[in-house]
A and B are shown apart, each in its own frame.
Chain A
Amino acid sequence: MAKGDPLIEFRGVRRSYGSGEAEVVALDHVDLTIREGEFVAIMGPSGSGKSTSMNIIGCLDRPTEGKYLFKGVEVQDLDRDSRALLRRHALGFVFQGFNLLARTTAQENVELPLIYKGLPAAERARRARAALEKVGLKGREDHDPAQLSGGQQQRVAIARALAGEPTVILADEPTGNLDSHRSHEIMQLLQVLNREDGITIVMVTHEEDIAAYAGRLLVFTDGHLTRDEPVAERGAP
């Protein structure tokens, strides 16, 4: 699969909760294509459908109607376990709250997805060390999350996403819990991963200056995709 090929495609995706009178529509017939190698920022107020889109892209949720194609595969028809395999082999997650396992070293946290990939222990350790080095945490392999700063914890989370060698990293407000300085460090790291390693990144954020790191901006309002535009090229500040 080459850079520029469609990777994520929404075709008339609708997601609603409840039924009848109580039906709440989170996404309403959204069409969207994200290509291999893009860095996309998704913005929008609470309840606009941006988190729902992320959950669908991340194969954690399924559309009520319409089609979601990942690398041409129709995800909406896949069962729970097939979607788990898709997450395992193609997706990496970075969350606002880091979501590291407590009382578990950075190294072990990063190895977690590799365990499910069924890699032997030596290979897991090697890859986890490489991923931690990549995010600038060489020498902190044996630290617990509690011994690391917020920025460092998020780096561990990025290393965990990276270790599985994903096609896409899905970042849900990755800087939401960090101060401005750390936020920019994390964004630069994601930018490097996108530019140098060709990893597609889809990121939800509230902040304009964080979204500015992306190459393309999507804005959701009331379940509709209301803006889709390129972001002016921005270097490191």
Chain B
Amino acid sequence: MILEAVRLALTAIIRNKLRSFLTVLGVVIGVAAVIAMVTVGQGSSEQVRASVASLGTNVLVARPGRPPRMGPPTGEPPPRFSVKDADAIAELPVAAHVAPMANTSQTVVAGNANAATQIYGTNADYLAVQNWPLALGRNFSDAEVQAGSAVCVLGETVRAKLFGASDPVGQSLRVKSVSCDVIGVLAAKGAGSFGQDQDDVLLMPFKTVQRRLKGNQDVDSIAVGLSQSASSEEGIRVISSLLRERRRVGVTQADNFSVTDMKEISSMLSGVNSVLTGLLSSVAAVSLLVGGIGIMNIMLVSVTERTREIGIRLAVGATSAQVLTQFLVEAVVLSILGGTLGILVGLGLAYGGSVYMSIPFSPSAAVVLLAFGFSAVVGVVFGFFPARRAARLDPIEALRHQ
């Protein structure tokens, strides 16, 4: 009987294609929105996790100045780091790799092509700190770093912009007045935690950047790869106390630098992420509710419109329960169709959004099942009242209905 009722419901739905579609539009939009929100939300959480992992779980970054959270900067700018600070940290047993960073933004030119990019002045340890493999060529040698040679390693985005299909290794490019040999290309890393392109970067020895591009001796930050045995808490403690000593911070004074690990960034990002996902999903859930009310409305109209049909069915021997089942099944089939359509649209949107924001597309079976179940529940809940009204019709009145 249920199968028969489903078949009947499908017939009734197909008979009124446009109306059926408009009826379920609310459910389609609701389910699609929930699916898209949750899928994109999960994708971006995954992205955060992945990019934090790619930064290295045991990476610390030391920057001059107070941590950004601890209020506005005080009057005079804090003293910069120098290469000596980095060398001192490298002496510590907790530090496996230490990379001083001197960064600048410049336009890079090769032949007719140019690209505005971020230039990181660093040393040969940077790749080890970042756990970043090379796709082509080689890393800096220590001699090149010491000498401040004009050599560079390209990020994938910069390589694509400047050299396209040709092999960049051995070719040269120009930054400001500096002509520089390409010795390697980094493996593509994709988008970072904030959606920025991590491959839009060019590495040079820090001395080259300091002397020939920036004209100073400053080190903007120091990235530290901790040794396997060291925890990040221990690393932060040891490096902080070393830096306090080197920067002559008095015992009563606050740090004029910060040492942070990736966990903080990671937890902050996933926190924002889950709040946003939750917020958008609840908006989407409201639209599902509205969709359910839409179904109830149309089913009520349908019961009135089909009063005579109901009368005929009752006259030929349908019981109230059979009429109830018919209309209830119709509402459920309708909303499940809407739900299915919504799932497809939602996954489509999520896929498009993931590609656009270059985050991983991570559909979750649990969410799809949940949305499916939810749309069935919407059908039962909002279909029951109209179905009961149909089942309670007086057959004589119903047959007389025009």
Contacts and interface: CB of A to CB of B under 8 A. Distances in A.
Contacts of B311: 99
Contacts of A222: none
Contacts of B317: 84-85, 87-89, 91, 113, 116-117, 164
Interface stretch (A34-42, A55-63, A184-192, A194-202): A55-63
B396 A116 contact: no
A115 interface: yes
A144 B90 CA distance: 89
A75 to B, nearest CB: 14
Contact of A93 (B315, B318, B319): B315
B189 interface: no
Interface in A60-97: 60-61, 80-81, 84-85, 87-89, 91, 93, 95
B314 A84 contact: yes
A87 to B, nearest CB: 5
Interface in B3-42: 4, 15
B321 interface: yes
A112 interface: yes
A113 B318 CA distance: 8
B319 A81 contact: yes
B13 to A, nearest CB: 13
Given A99-B311, A103-B15, A113 B396 contact: no
B398 to A, nearest CB: 10
Interface in B100-156: none
A118 interface: yes
B393 to A, nearest CB: 11
A80 B399 contact: no
A103 B315 CA distance: 19
A81 B324 CA distance: 13
Interface in B213-254: none
A89 B15 CA distance: 30
A91 B319 CA distance: 14
A101 interface: yes
Interface string B175-213: 000000000000000000000000000000000000000
Contact of B315 (A80, A87, A89, A100): A87
A160 interface: yes
B396 A61 contact: yes
B309 A101 contact: yes
A84 B320 contact: yes
Nearest to A100: B312
B278 interface: no
B315 A115 contact: no
Contact of A118 (B1, B308, B314, B395): B1
B313 interface: yes
Interface in B282-334: 308-309, 311-322
Interface string A20-45: 00000000000000000000000000
A99 B396 contact: no
A210 B321 CA distance: 38
Contacts of B1: 118
Contacts of B319: 80-81, 84-85, 116
Interface bracket on B: 20 to 34
Given A87-B316, A88-B316, A115 B396 contact: no
A91 B318 CA distance: 12
A2 to B, nearest CB: 25
A91 B320 CA distance: 18
Nearest to A170: B315
A113 B320 contact: no
A116 B15 CA distance: 21
A163 to B, nearest CB: 9
A197 B313 CA distance: 25
A160 B319 CA distance: 18
A117 B396 CA distance: 21
A81 B321 CA distance: 9
Given A84-B319, A85-B319, A117-B317, A55 B15 contact: no
Nearest to B318: A116
Nearest to A114: B316
B264 to A, nearest CB: 65
B318 A84 contact: yes
B322 A116 contact: yes
Contacts of A55: 396
Interface string B93-105: 0000000000000
Nearest to B400: A97
A85 B4 CA distance: 18
A205 B165 CA distance: 92
A60 B315 contact: yes
Contacts of B322: 116
Interface in A147-166: 160, 164
Contacts of B395: 60
12 contacts: A60-B314, A60-B399, A80-B319, A81-B319, A81-B320, A85-B317, A93-B315, A93-B316, A112-B312, A112-B313, A113-B317, A115-B4
Interface of B: 1, 4, 15, 308-309, 311-322, 395-396, 399
Given A81-B319, A84-B319, A99-B308, 12 more contacts: A60-B396, A61-B396, A81-B320, A84-B320, A99-B315, A112-B313, A113-B316, A115-B4, A116-B318, A116-B319, A117-B317, A164-B316
Closest 4 A/B residue pairs (Cβ): A88-B317, A113-B316, A87-B317, A84-B319
